[in-house]
A and B are shown apart, each in its own frame.
Chain A
Amino acid sequence: MKVALTVLLAVLPLAAQDIKMPVGLDRLAAKASEVVDVSLDGPLLQLASRFLSDKDPDEANVKKLVGGLKGVYVKSFTFEDRDQYKETDVEDLRTQLKAPGWSRIVSSRSKRNGDNSEVYLKTDAGQITGLAVIVTEPKELTIVNIIGFIRPEDIRDLGGHFGIPKIDVPGKNDKNDKPGNKNDKKEDNQ
């Protein structure tokens, strides 16, 4: 009984643990011409939220969105030249995203551009509790990890608001589309 309790206590924190950014990514910063590293945990998000206005509709919208979040982590590297990083640099992350609870909802690959995009969702009791995005491009690598109650379309639809550029999506005007419906759509724009 004692052994079982000890094992349970040891395993519980691991189960609650969220994905970790691969340590090896930091060395890419030296090669990159532009690095964005945003790391906002719960208290920092709360602090940022206090400076979002309730009167401005865009900021109020973001404030509402941020209210359900526990962490926002973004790493983005832009390189002058192609192939400055290897696929293995993000392999550790992909391995973590194979853990129970996580599922890949979108995988888009363009052989023409060499772009590869993946969107993962973490669900718990039918609710989305995490979002991870990996975008690998010849000269750019972007990793996003958002912890908390979030729908990808809520963030996507911020385009055109809050100083975020809007990219036209053909035939797209779907606040109601469910993220779980897109199952591993693959694109091959050769």
Chain B
Amino acid sequence: MMDDFEKQIKDALAPKEPSPFFEARVLAAVKRQSREQRASSRMWWASAIAAVLLVISGSAWQYEKNAREEAAGKDAKARLELALKITSVKLQRISQRVEGI
């Protein structure tokens, strides 16, 4: 009985040859994991760069839009000033003539 138990332990602890292709499977698994990590890291960097580019291009677009709007606004203001100047001068002259009768 004791001998059987000892034998069982001996057998269990005895060095065993790994199954065929074990090393290849482990190496493949490590490689796959490493590839996945690299892909995930690349994806993260790509997303970060895309987000930064989006923010930069959005800001640039907004800046350009504001600059365009400001230029158009200043131009419209200048034209309004000119129109009011002409109209005011003409109306003042008409007033002058009519009051001078």
Residues of A within 8 A of B (CB): 36, 38, 40, 44-45, 47-48, 50-52, 62, 66, 72-74, 76, 106, 108, 110, 115, 117, 119, 133, 135, 142, 144, 146, 152-153, 155-159, 162-172, 182, 185, 187, 189
Q: Are B76 and A45 within 8 A (Cβ)? A: yes
Q: Are A36 and B92 within 8 A (Cβ)? A: no
On whether A159 and B89 interact (CB within 8 A), knowing A62-B84, A66-B80, the answer reads yes
Residues of B within 8 A of A72 (CB): 80, 83-84
Residues of B within 8 A of A66 (CB): 80
Q: Which of B69, B74, B86, B91 contacts A156 (CB 8 A)?
A: B91
- Bound state CA distance, A49 and B58, in angstroms? 27
Residues of B within 8 A of A135 (CB): 90, 93-94
Closest 5 CB pairs of A and B: A48-B76, A156-B91, A167-B92, A38-B83, A51-B73
Q: Which residue of A is nearest B80, CB measured?
A: A48
Q: Which residue of A is nearest B85, CB measured?
A: A164
- Bound state CA distance, A106 and B93, in angstroms? 12
Q: How far is the CB of A141 from chain B (nearest CB, A)?
A: 11
Residues of B within 8 A of A (CB): 69-70, 72-74, 76-77, 79-101
Q: How far is the CB of B67 from chain A (nearest CB, A)?
A: 13
Q: Are B80 and A108 within 8 A (Cβ)? A: no
Task: Determine the main DSSP class of A at the interface with B.
Answer: mixed
- Bound state CA distance, A154 and B95, in angstroms? 13
Residues of B within 8 A of A170 (CB): 96, 99-100
Residues of B within 8 A of A50 (CB): 73
On whether A169 and B96 interact (CB within 8 A), knowing A38-B82, A44-B76, A48-B76, the answer reads yes
On whether A168 and B96 interact (CB within 8 A), knowing A74-B83, A152-B91, the answer reads yes
Residues of B within 8 A of A158 (CB): 84, 88
Q: How far is the CB of B55 from chain A (nearest CB, A)?
A: 27
Q: How far is the CB of B42 from chain A (nearest CB, A)?
A: 47
Q: Are B88 and A74 within 8 A (Cβ)? A: no
Residues of A within 8 A of B89 (CB): 159, 164-165, 167
Residues of A within 8 A of B76 (CB): 40, 44-45, 47-48, 51
Residues of A within 8 A of B73 (CB): 47-48, 50-51
- Bound state CA distance, A107 and B88, in angstroms? 17
